[in-house]
Amino acid sequence: MDFPGSLPPALFRTGPLGVSNTPDLSFMCSWRDALTLPEPLAQNSQNGVSCTAAAPLWEPETPGPLPLLPPGPDPWDPGVTARDLLFRGGIPFRRKPRAVLDVTEQLSRFLWDHGDIAFAPLGKLMLENFKLEGARSHSKKKTVVSVKSLLQDLGGHQPWGCPWASLSFRQRRFSILGGPVLGTSVAGLLGELLHEELATRWERLLLDDAFTGGALAWVPGRTPQVGQLVYPAGGALDKLHFQEVSVAPGGDPQALGDPGHIQLRGPVRQVATHTVQGEALLAVRSDYHCALWKVSKQGRPAPLRVLQIGKGATGISLSPHLPGELAVCSRSGAVCLWTPQDGLRQIYKDPETLVFRDPSPWRWADFTAHPRVLTVGDRTGVKIIDTQGPPGCGLLLFRGGAEAACQKGERVLLTRYLGGCGPEPLCPTFHLILTQFSLYLVDERLPLVPLLKWNHDLPSAPLFAQLLPPPQPGHAQPLLLGGQGGHLRLLQLAGTGASAPRLAGPPQSLPSSSDSLSAFPLLEPKSQWRLQERLKAPTIGLAAALLPSASAPVLFLFQLSAAGDVFHQRLRLQADPGLASSAPVASWTPQATACCGRWLKALLEIPLPPPVWAAPNFSHRRVLGCVEPRQMEQKVPDALRAAMAEGRLLLRRDLGAVPSAEPPPAPEPGPEDELSARLEAAWEGRAAAWWESQQGGSSGPGKRPRRHKRRTQLSSTFSSLSGRLDLSDATSPPRSPDRTSPEARPQPPVTPPSQELTQEPWARGVPSERQQTLRDYMAKLPLRAAVPSSQTSSVRATPSRQQAPVPSGSQPRRRKPRMGF
């Protein structure tokens, strides 16, 4: 490999720094500070990178991507979230809040769900304190517990819906015996392992590097308009699907037939494809296996090799030089090279990171312009190694430090070799390096000095990158970046030969799958939340298909989500940048909304995944299992009983045919509301006439003016009593037997039959000084008109003042009146 004839003059200077006629640059700490771009191009102040002002733009035809395939039949579980792992309570004395893992809640869930795993080793230690089922034991020791009775108590006894509401003596003895052992061993051993697992899950939530490189690939077919999408599907992503897709410049991509699939032994993490010497090769990476297929023009894959990685694979790459050559990286720091001639051999191994210490076991390998030279990367940098040289030799290509002006905490996420993209590559020695903050373009002939740096401003980690061939001769090459959260950036790289690379036009932000929510119909809150969660699923794959055309090239983008959904969007190249601003804004077409409606209908038919953990409650299944169904007048449908036994929500269809509802009974006519009538008359302007009618009706002969009485709580309390009995003429009730003297008790007075009606139960408990007040109040109630005439006549026929003669010595002693009623 020789350098080009004419070198960029801005990249090399004659003589050492500070000695030539150029300004003194001896204070600079690296080559990067002394290098400038050759052409005086416009600078992007936001990202600090040069780009040409006028360049063609790619315009999306819809506001968001559309679903290409119907959703799979398996329910999707988003897994644990930050809310499940973090401690919800805040620590008041901390100045800066930070994430704290909630180990106690997770430990309680683990003990509740997997008690057999947590307490099985302790059972052997405490075997002498348990009496197993079927074993006869006459021991009367208090340290022996019956296992059968204990399991019945722990399994089914849940009073008031809480399993800890009541403890039996067996549970109490068990807690006393196993308290010291359970508190030390379970909390000590499981607590450490659980905290380690929670820390791993939290790091995975921040950055999930399992799908680095992408699990979606586009394999060209027999014609440029037909190809295959290779992607994983299924609830566990363990089915590799081959879907034939037709793309046309004038329409949306169409799926041709049902996809073929291959069942694998593990989830698919990465799918890579490359065409070398007319042969399309397909490499697939799982957690502990890697496989290689050869795809024919008819789309039929033929297996070539399956590799098993004991420590776990982190990345695979296909060689752009030799067909069938594959580079595999493992978590142990080893890099292996597999060729059809030599088989598998290890070419590099270093468990330590390149530049500084980093605990991440992630490794990545890719090829270079030389067939026998590879790049090996980790979180701290990228190194060039020679497969034919002695072990340990190599040269740093990129390091996270001052040479690249890296930020604090910046780490390498992905490296890509850009030399094998298309027949006319940008440059055969360029490499792309992505971090969580920036994009770097490095030339392997000039290590440690990035030729181009751009802050991509992606909200999520960029784990996918693909460089496409130029749509037309002389145009810039599109570079597609994809984040884990579904965010997309489209850049155009220009500069070939001796010119330095630069960005052609401003970078473009493309819509993500969550932007397609407006194309779906509005749903109820629960279904709407389910749709939003589905559209916000993390992206695990990105692929592109470019249809070159002399008039208007078309670019098709495909995205694969963690839920197994494939979305697509079409972009058209705007030749004149001035026409981009005057072009109509992209909107949803009727065909697009209909496509989203069909996809949503199929999504809502998929059953929801069962909850992972729920709070303990009363076991209704046990009750339904032992209680015989009672014979009722209205037979309960079988669907209703099945819904109760399964513990799911009762739906309308479970009730069967709903009987026609009878009209409600008409309200009984009540007393005339004078206030409503007065307000109605005042509103209509007839207040004077209403008042005269009231005065005229009440001033007639023999009629007293009506006075409106307010009903208090007392009137409502005794309204039922006034309906049965009218005591307006009564003054005193009959004497109570308890209040008579002992001398008078042997001679009870003879009470007439008509007087027995006044001895009601309410008069026995009411003092005599309150009975008269009660009679006066009951006499003035308007409900006395509702008393039947028979009862009124029978009561009034006997005056209450006519009492039987009572001896003088038997008169009750009169008590002092009490205040209040």
CB-neighbour burial class of residue 396 (10 A; exposed 0-12, middle 13-18, buried 19+): middle
Are the C-beta atoms of residues 236 and 269 closer than 8 Å to each other?
no
Distance CA 309, CA 328 (A): 9
Q: Which two tokens stand for residue 251?
A: 């329409």
SS3 label, residue 154: helix
Give the residues across from 279 on adjacent strands: 276
Q: Which residues pair with 60 in a beta bridge?
A: 571
Q: In angstroms, rounded to a whole number, what is the distance separating the alpha carbons of residues 732 and 800?
A: 7
No. of H helices and E strands in the chain?
A: 18, 35
pLDDT exceeds 90 at position 269 = yes
What the block records as the tokens of 710 is: 């307010």
Give me the pLDDT at residue 52, please: 52
Each residue's pLDDT tens digit, 710-761: 444 444 444 444 444 444 444 444 444 444 444 444 444 444 444 444 445 5
Sorted by sequence, the CB contacts under 8 Å of residue 677 that are 6+ apart come out as 690
Query: How far is Cα 113 from Cα 474, in angstroms, rounded to an integer?
Result: 63
Are 300 and 262 contacting, i.e. CB atoms less than 8 angstroms apart? no
- Please state whether beta strands 49-52 and 554-561 pair in parallel, antiparallel, or not at all (unpaired): unpaired
CA atoms within 13 A on the CB side of 582: 5
Quote the DSSP letter at residue 576. Answer: S
- pLDDT for 152: 67
3-class secondary structure per residue, 450-475: EEEEEECCCCCCEEEEEECCCCCCCC
pLDDT at residue 257 above 80? yes
CA dist., res. 444 & res. 386, Å (int)? 13
Q: Please give the pLDDT value at position 42.
A: 43
Is the per-residue pLDDT at 528 higher than 80? yes
Q: Determine how many CB atoms are found less than 10 A away from the CB of residue 660.
A: 5
Range ranked top by mean pLDDT from 148-152, 376-380, 805-809: 376-380
pLDDT: is 785 or 610 the higher one? Answer: 610
**Cβ contact 442:395 at 8 Å:** no
- Can you tell me the mean pLDDT for 556-570? 95
Strand, helix or coil for residue 588:
coil
Q: How many CB atoms lie within 10 A of CB 480?
A: 20
- Give the pair of three-digit tokens for residue 54: 């006028």
Is the confidence at residue 21, as pLDDT, over 60? Answer: no
Q: Residue 86: pLDDT band by 50, 70, 90 thresholds?
A: confident
What is the C-alpha to C-alpha distance for residues 457 and 442, in angstroms, rounded to an integer? 20
Residue 349: the pLDDT is 93
Confidence at 284, pLDDT banded by 50, 70, 90:
very high
**Mean pLDDT comparison of 35-39, 42-46, 75-79, 429-433, highest-scoring range:** 429-433
Give the dihedral of Cα atoms 286, 292, 297, 300; nearest 10 deg.
Answer: -70
pLDDT(67) > 90? yes
Q: What is the pTM assigned to this prediction?
A: 0.66
Q: DSSP letters of 162-229?
A: -TTS---HHHHHHHHHHHHHIIIIIIIIIHHHHHHHHHHHHHHHH--GGGTT-S-EEEE-SSTTEEEE
Residue 4 falls in which region: left (phi positive, over 0), alpha (psi -120 to 50) or beta = beta
Q: Judge whether residue 468 has pLDDT over 70.
A: yes
How many Å apart are CA 792 and CA 814, to the nearest integer?
30
Please give the angle made by the CA atoms of 641, 647 and 652, to the nearest 5 degrees.
Answer: 60
Q: Could you tell me which residues come within 8 angstroms of residue 379 by beta carbon, excluding any fewer than 6 positions away?
A: 353, 358, 360, 362, 400, 411, 412
**pLDDT for the residue numbered 397:** 94
Contact present, 216 and 560 (Cβ < 8 Å): yes
189 in Cβ contact with 250 (< 8 Å): no
Decide if pLDDT at 562 tops 80.
yes
Residue 163 has pLDDT above 80, yes or no: no
- What number is the average pLDDT over the span 102-117? 76
Token digits for 41?
A: 């191009």
**Residue of 279 and 499 predicted with greater confidence:** 279
**pLDDT for the residue 53:** 45
Region 643-670 average pLDDT: 66
Alpha-carbon distance of 465 to 482, in angstroms, equals: 6
The confidence score (pLDDT) of residue 793 equals 42
pLDDT recorded at residue 661: 57
Whole-angstrom Cα distance, residue 66 to residue 516? 7
Whether the CB-CB separation of 391 and 333 falls below 8 Å is answered with no
- The Cα 491–Cα 514 span in angstroms is 21
Query: Model confidence at 612, in pLDDT bands (50, 70, 90)?
Result: low
High-pLDDT (> 70) share of the chain, %: 62
DSSP, collapsed to helix, strand or coil, labels residue 381 as: strand
User: For helices 525-535 and 590-604, what crossing angle results, to 10°?
Assistant: 110
Q: How confident is the model at residue 111 (pLDDT cuts 50, 70, 90)?
A: confident
Q: What is the average per-residue pLDDT within 578-603?
A: 82
Rg, C-alpha atoms of the chain:
44
Question: In the predicted model, is pLDDT for residue 186 greater than 70?
Answer: no
Q: In the predicted model, what is the mean pLDDT of residues 418-426? A: 70
3-state secondary structure of 581: helix
Is pLDDT above 70 for 316? Answer: yes
Chain mean position to CA 411: 28
Mean pLDDT of 803-814: 49
User: Which pLDDT tens digit goes with each residue over 32-63?
Assistant: 444 443 343 444 444 545 555 456 789 999 99
> What's the pLDDT score for residue 745?
45
- d(C-alpha 418, C-alpha 368), whole Å: 9
As a whole number, mean pLDDT of residues 452-462 equals 92
Considering the chain, what is the average pLDDT of its residues? Answer: 75
Determine the average pLDDT of the residues in 66-72: 94
The confidence band for 577, taking pLDDT boundaries of 50, 70 and 90, is: low
| Residue 543 pLDDT | 96
Q: Tell me the two tokens of residue 809.
A: 């010595």
Q: Are 516 and 64 in contact, with CB atoms under 8 Å apart?
A: yes
Residue 425, pLDDT > 90, answer no
Neighbours of 441 (CB within 10 A): 24
- The torsion angles phi and psi of 92, rounded to 5 degrees, stand at -70, -25
Q: What is the predicted pLDDT for the residue at 796?
A: 42
pLDDT in tens, 657-684: 656 656 666 555 555 578 888 888 888 8
